[in-house]
Amino acid sequence: MKKGIIEISGVRFPLYSLNTLIIGSGAAALNAAVNLFEYGQKDVAIATENWGGGTSNNAGSDKQTYYKLSLSGGVTDSPLEMARDLFSGGCMHGDIALCEAQNSAQAFFHLVSLGVPFPHDRFGAYVGYKTDHDPRGRATSAGPLTSRMMFECLAKDIKKKGIQVFDGHDIIALLTDKRNGGKYVIGALAIDKDNLDPESLGFVVFNAVNVILGTGGPAGMYKSSVYPESQLGSSGLAFEIGAFGNNLTESQYGLASIKFRWNLSGTYQQVIPRYVSTDKDGQDEQEFLNHYFPDMGKLATAVFLKGYQWPFDPRKVRDYGSSLIDILVYQETVMKGRRVFLDFTRNPPSGGILEDFSFDMLDKEASVYLEKSGALFGTPIERLKKMNQPAIDLYMNNGINLAEDYLEIGVCAQHNNGGLKGNIWWESNIKHLFPAGEVNGTHGVYRPGGSALNSGQVGSMRAALYISKRYTETPPEPERFLAAAQDQVKDKFEQARQMIKPPAGENHILHKAREDIQERMSSSGAHIRHPEKIKEAIKEAWSLYSRLKKESKVASSEELPDAFKNLDLCLTHALYLEAIGEYLEKGGKSRGSYLVVDSNGDKPCEALGDEWKFSLNQEDAPVNQKILEIHLDEKSVVKKQWVDVKPVPQDEAWFENIWNEYMQEKIVK
Ligand SMILES: Cc1cc2nc3c(=O)[nH]c(=O)nc-3n(C[C@H](O)[C@H](O)[C@H](O)COP(=O)(O)OP(=O)(O)OC[C@H]3O[C@@H](n4cnc5c(N)ncnc54)[C@H](O)[C@@H]3O)c2cc1C
């Protein structure tokens, strides 16, 4: 990497020239850097807004899952079978599914070799278990903090390899050029938050042949969120330069605690806590679930099942299914403005027509599970102590004593199934730009639990391989780079100057805009969707975006990164809402992890009002046959297209032929 100084409009900025810039420091970004280095491309650096921030290092769950090919004992499996299972979730391209399956063992053992403590038996078998949407027990876990352990092992290796990290650098723009009619990325622009000098405002310019975008899910656009606070996302960087998004309608939502953000899956639900709602001040306690279930057995079984049916799923609403609970929590919190808590100190009590909880009321599945776990006794906290003491410790370490305190909850955004579009090397339609990890929307409607972590590792490894074979050039000399990048840097710098001169007064738009985005997304673009509300939401989103472009003001340069983040999130949420609007317009109904209100459908349960009527997509619904792509064209006009879902490739590879192609370097292309 070469360091220089460039001057634009009389202002001097640091310029770094290198082969590949990796943006972000989550598990996907770090794996990209490690793999590039191992494949021989050492002219790389990482720019991250906050080393240690992001989802990988700060989120987890009861048993955080990593999905991979089955690798133990007599369990039969094959990459093709795994690809078919990934593909069968709907609206996932088959070639991508095959890559994720085919490379899963390699990516997994790479982590093992770096020290991630995935458990194995004495014969060396990495034994698996079944996760959701998984027919073969392909899941494994290193505990509640699997992704943190991945981050830690990868981070250690980054240090060992001496890869340069630009910490505290918020990337605010990707720089592009055109060649042969196509657009390609040529670098990026950052604000160095530790060097916000009044002249350059902290601007740093990267001249890079390739950019790997590992910025994670666009978490910052939701109000109700179980993403860690440090994760906001930056998909807008890519949308702004015309990158395609796909499946933006598909995200995952579920029940989580909100003071300390954590998924309430697994044993937290299997011990059957009491759900209670209160008014805003914590008064007027109500056993709100009791009014919607016909008997206590059904209520308690639905709570139990939430443990391993964690994401909200409209197919699991009817017949007093586990996802009815999410609807009832949403009704209390969002529609009635009350608060909902889990109480682990008492079993669900009588109320309405329901009697007190007792174990003999449970469905067989639940009672057998609790019996086998030696937990058919006592209160929820006593059962949790018996089944999973670390689950209690985790909250204790975060200031919440489940043996005494109520745990406040909500239905929260947790994962981005859709996102930026990439090819089988994770390269976007903008050449040399590789979105990897959660920012890349490889998944379809349903995905097996744990496939996000697999996808992030496989994708970053594939991008690294491609770059190390095909895009090995040294970066252009500063003069040539500037000829293409100068105006783009100038525009952003001018925008920053306008934000700061004159500085904003007290009640400026910065915080209000973030709240607006989050409010709109959680009410119109999350797990409950209203066809009649969406058009207005889209209009408001674009109107805020144009206001932000013109009127964003900050009190000082310290606020510049937040102002650019608002622009990014605002553009991102506008495109996500556009995708939802298009899906509803085409007659799309409930699927995946969201319910579409439909007055011609049925109510989720008898006691809920007509406003809750909904229906599921028919299997052969047009929206299930194609993938919705969306992007901004050269004039920033939104373009949408429905493309065919590519099938899983069935090539019969013949060894001698592949060997020949491989020796002639014809594989990676
Ligand atoms: C509660 C919870 C539980 C989960 N459980 C599972 C599970 O069991 N199994 C599973 O497979 N997945 C799970 N996931 C999802 C999975 O953890 C994430 O998809 C994955 O960790 C994302 O990794 P990433 O590297 O893509 O992004 P992240 O780890 O989010 O990293 C993004 C990085 O980009 C940086 N960044 C963002 N914007 C910029 C910018 N403009 N400039 C510089 N840096 C930037 C951030 O600071 C961060 O370092 C869970 C997620 C949550 C929230």
Q: What is the CATH number of the domain that holds 506?
A: 1.20.58.100
Q: Which of 4, 489, 474, 485 is nearest to 209 (CA)?
A: 474
Place of tokens 């991508």: 96
229 in a structural domain: yes
Tell me the best of 21, 55, 174 to mutate to test the pocket of ligand 1, counting ligand atoms within 8 Å of each CB and taking the most.
Answer: 55
How many Cα atoms within 13 Å fall on the side-chain side of residue 447?
Answer: 30
Q: Is the pLDDT of residue 587 over 80?
A: yes
Over residues 473-485, the mean pLDDT reads 97
User: Ligand 1, from 57, 147, 434: best to mutate by most atoms within 8 Å of Cβ?
Assistant: 147
State the closest ligand 1 atom to the C-alpha of 436, by its place in the atom list counted from 1. 26
413-to-126, 145, 258, 406, 581 alpha-carbon distances in Å: 31, 19, 11, 22, 19
Question: Could you identify the atom of ligand 1 that is nearest to the CA of residue 30?
Answer: 25
Question: 439 C-alpha vs ligand 1 centroid, how far in Å?
Answer: 9
pLDDT at 501: 84
The pLDDT value given to residue 262: 94
Give every CB contact of residue 119 below 8 A, 6+ residues apart in sequence: 126, 127, 140, 142
Could you identify the atom of ligand 1 that is nearest to the CA of residue 67?
A: 11
Are residues 463 and 556 located together in one domain of the fold? no
Residue pair 224/445 in contact by the 8 Å Cβ criterion: no
Question: Distance (Å, rounded) from C-alpha 175 to C-alpha 482?
Answer: 10
CA dist list (Å): 205 to 5, 17, 347, 413:
9, 9, 59, 34
Q: What is the mean pLDDT of residues 479-497?
A: 97
481 neighbors 457 (Cβ within 8 angstroms): no
Say how many Å lie between the CA of residue 244 and the centre of ligand 1.
20
Same domain? For 402 and 439 the reply is no
Please calculate the CA angle 533-535-536 and round it to the nearest 5 degrees: 70
* Domain identity same for 193 and 45: yes
Closest of 253, 311, 255 to residue 132, by C-alpha: 311
Task: Give residue 568 CA to ligand 1 midpoint distance, Å.
Answer: 17
Query: Does 666 fall in a domain?
Result: no
Provide the mean pLDDT of the chain. Answer: 95
Q: Is the pLDDT of residue 619 over 90?
A: no
pLDDT digits 0-9 by tens, 222-243: 999 999 999 999 999 999 999 9
In a domain, 149, yes or no: yes
Identify the domain boundary among 365, 390, 414. Answer: 414
Structural domain contains residue 625: yes
* Burial annotation 437-447 (CB, 10 A radius, 16+ → b, else e): bbbbbbbbbbb
* Domain stops at, among 414, 448, 463: 414
Cα–Cα distance for residue pair 489/510, rounded to 1 Å: 23
What does DSSP assign to residue 237? H
Please give the Cα distance from 495 to 501 (Å, whole number).
10
Domain containing 288 equals 253-414
Q: Residue 262 CA: which ligand 1 atom is closest? A: 1
Verify that 279 and 202 share a domain, yes or no: no
Of 30, 31, 34, 56, the one to substitute when testing ligand 1's pocket (max ligand atoms within 8 A of C-beta) is 56
Strand partners, 262: 257
pLDDT tens digits, residue range 122-148? 999 999 988 877 888 899 999 989 999
Nearest CA to ligand 1 atom 49: 25
CA of 489 relative to ligand 1 center, distance in Å:
28
Tokens of 645: 């879902």
One domain for residues 435 and 409 = no
> Which ligand 1 atom sits closest to the C-alpha of 449?
9
List helix spans (H) across 6-56: 27-38
pLDDT at 507: 61
- Taking the CA of residue 190 as reference, the ligand 1 atom at the shortest distance is 42
Question: Do 159 and 40 share a domain, yes or no?
Answer: yes
Distance 295 CA to ligand 1 centre (A): 40
Bridge partners, 141 (sequence order): 65
- What pLDDT, on a 0 to 100 scale, did the predictor assign at position 503? 73
Domain end position, chosen among 365, 395, 414: 414
Task: Please state the domain count of the chain.
Answer: 3
Look up the CATH number of the domain holding residue 19: 3.50.50.60
Whether the predicted pLDDT of 506 surpasses 70: no
> Quick one: which atom of ligand 1 is closest to the CA of 29?
25
In this structure, the residue with its CA closest to atom 27 of ligand 1 is 216
Task: Kindly report, residue by residue over 51-64, the tens digit of the pLDDT.
Answer: 999 999 999 888 89
Q: Are 48 and 165 in contact (CB under 8 A)?
A: yes
d(Cα 461, Cα 440) in Å, to the nearest integer? 14
**Atom number, ligand 1, closest to the C-alpha of residue 416:** 19
User: What is the pLDDT, as a whole number, of residue 511?
Assistant: 84
How far apart are alpha carbons 420 and 88 in whole angstroms?
20
- For residue 637, tell me if it sits in a domain: yes
The residue contributing the CA closest to ligand 1 atom 31 is 26
Q: Is the peptide bond before 502 cis (omega within 30 degrees of 0)?
A: yes
**How confident is the model at residue 516, as a pLDDT?**
97
- For residue 28, give the ligand 1 atom closest to its CA: 25
**351 pLDDT more than 80:** no
**What is the pLDDT at residue 355?**
86
The answer to whether residues 392 and 427 belong to one domain is: no
Distances (CA, A) of 612 to 233, 296, 322, 325, 604: 32, 23, 16, 14, 7
Cα of 276 to ligand 1 centre, how many Å?
31
Beta-sheet pairing, 169-179 with 182-192: antiparallel
Ligand 1 atom closest to 263 (CA):
1
The answer to whether residues 240 and 266 belong to one domain is: no
For ligand 1, mutation pick of 453, 568, 569 (most atoms within 8 Å of CB): 453
Which of helix, strand or coil describes residue 597? strand
Instruction: Write down the pLDDT at residue 445.
Output: 96
Contact residues for 113 (Cβ-Cβ < 8 A; gap 6+): none
Q: Residue 397: what pLDDT? A: 94
Ligand 1 center–CA 56 separation, angstroms: 5
255 CA distance to ligand 1 centroid (A)?
Answer: 18
Residue 461 lies in a domain: yes
> Residue 653's pLDDT band (boundaries 50, 70, 90)?
confident
> Is this model's pTM higher than 0.85 or not?
yes
> Residues enclosing ligand 1, CB less than 6 A?
23-29, 47-50, 53-56, 59-61, 64-65, 147, 170-171, 214-216, 226-227, 231, 233-234, 263, 414-415, 437-438, 449-450, 452-453, 456
CA dist., res. 67 & res. 448, Å (int): 7
With 70 as the cut, is the pLDDT of residue 533 above it?
Answer: yes
Give 263-282 pLDDT, tens digit per residue: 999 899 999 999 999 999 99
Specify if 319 maps to a domain: yes
Ligand 1 atom nearest to CA at 216: 27
Ligand 1 mean position to 662 CA, how many Å? 34
- The reply to whether 274 and 158 lie within a common domain is no
Ligand 1 centroid to Cα of residue 190, in Å, is 20
Q: What are phi and psi of 582, to 5 degrees?
A: -65, -40
How much is the pLDDT for 482?
97
Q: How far does the centroid of ligand 1 lie from the alpha carbon of residue 669, in Å?
A: 29
Q: Which residues contact 653 (CB under 8 A, 6 or more apart)?
A: none
Co-location of 172 and 83 in the same domain: yes
260 domain residue, yes or no: yes
Please give the pLDDT value at position 200. Answer: 95
Band of pLDDT at residue 402, cut at 50, 70 and 90: very high
- CA dist 283 and 582 (Å) reads 42
| Mean pLDDT (whole number) for 286-310 | 94
- Are residues 206 and 192 both part of a single domain? yes
| Whether residues 265 and 295 fall in one domain | yes
509-524 and 531-551 are packed helices; what angle lies between their axes, rounded to 10 degrees?
Answer: 160
User: What secondary structure does DSSP assign to 45-114, as a single string?
Assistant: EEE-SSTT-SSTTT---TT-EEE----STT----HHHHHHHHHTTTT--HHHHHHHHHTHHHHHHHHHHH
What is the 55 CA–ligand 1 centroid distance (Å)? 3
Residues 640, 579 contacting (CB under 8 angstroms): yes
For a ligand 1 pocket test, name from 86, 415, 416, 420 the mutation site with the most ligand atoms within 8 angstroms of its C-beta: 415
Mean pLDDT in residue range 300-306: 96
Q: Please tell me the distance between residue 30's alpha carbon and the centre of ligand 1 in angstroms.
A: 12
Residue 133: per-residue pLDDT: 79
Burial of 157 (0-12, 13-18, 19+ CB in 10 A): buried
